[in-house]
Structure 1
Amino acid sequence: MNLRYMKDYFAWLYYQYTIISCCAVLEPWERSMFNTIFLTILGMVVYTAYVFIPIHIRLAWEFFSEIFGDQSTIANF
C-alpha cells in the first residue's frame, strides 16, 4: 500500500469521525476536551471488558455446566 493512500484514508476516517460526532462545529479547545473525554471513556470500557468479560464467561460456563451436567463427570459414576 502506498503511504500517501494510507495518510489520505486516515484523514478521511478522522473527517468522518468529526462529522458524525459533530466535532466539526466545536472550537479547538472544545474539540480537544471532547476527544479527551471520549478517549478516556473508551479506554475505561476496553479495560473493563478486558478484565471482567473473561470472569463472567467462566462463571457462566460453570453455572451452565452444573445445570446441564458435565459429560465427563457423568461417565465417572
Structure 2
Amino acid sequence: MSYVFCLQLNFLRREFIGLYSSKMLNLKHLASHAYRQYELVTCVNMLEPWEKKLINGFFLVMLFLVLFSSFMYLPNYMQTLMQFVTPPNWHNSPDSAAYVAQKMTRS
C-alpha cells in the first residue's frame, strides 16, 4: 500500500474512533457534531447570521412539507400500487386495470 493511502486509513480510523469515544456519547455533543457537519457540507458556515437563519428556515420548511406529504399521501399511493401489483384475488376491489387507473387519477 502507498504511504498516502495508509495516512488516509489512519485518519479515517481516528475519525471513527473519535466519533464513538465516550465524550461523543453525550447527546449534546452528538447534536453539536451533526450541526457542524451540516454547516460544513452545505457551506452555511460562510454566511452571515441572518442568512443562516433564512437558509435554515427554508430547509426546515422543506423538510416539514416532505414529511407532511409523505404521511398524508404515501399510504394511499402505496395501497393503490399494491392493488395494481398484487393478483386480483388478493384484494376485494374490482380486478380491472381501468378501476386502478381511475383510482390513481383521483388520489
Shared fold per TM-score greater than 0.5: yes
TM-score, structure 2 as length reference = 0.57
Q: Report which structure shows greater RCO (CA 8 Å, sep ≥6).
A: 2
Distance 1:44 1:72, change over 3 A: closer
Amino acid at match of 1:48: S
Please report how far the alpha carbon of residue 7 of structure 1 lies from its aligned counterpart in structure 2 after TM superposition: 1.1
Larger Rg: 2
- Where does 1:34-49 land on structure 2 (aligned, <5 Å)? 34-49=55-70
Q: Aligned pairs, how many?
A: 70
Query: Do the aligned partners of 2:83 and 2:91 also contact (CA within 8 Å) in 1?
Result: no
> Which portions of structure 1, spanning 4 or more consecutive aligned residues, are displaced by more than 3 angstroms?
none
TM-score, structure 1 as length reference = 0.78
Which of 46, 52, 59 matches 1:31?
52
Structure with the bigger percentage of helix: 1
- Percent identity between the aligned chains? 24
Amino acid at match of 2:63: L
- Unaligned stretches of 5+ residues in structure 1: none
- Where does 1:1-77 land on structure 2 (aligned, <5 Å)? 5-65=26-86, 68-71=87-90
Distance in 2 of aligned mates of 1:34 and 1:72: 46
Q: CA-atom RMSD, angstroms?
A: 2.3
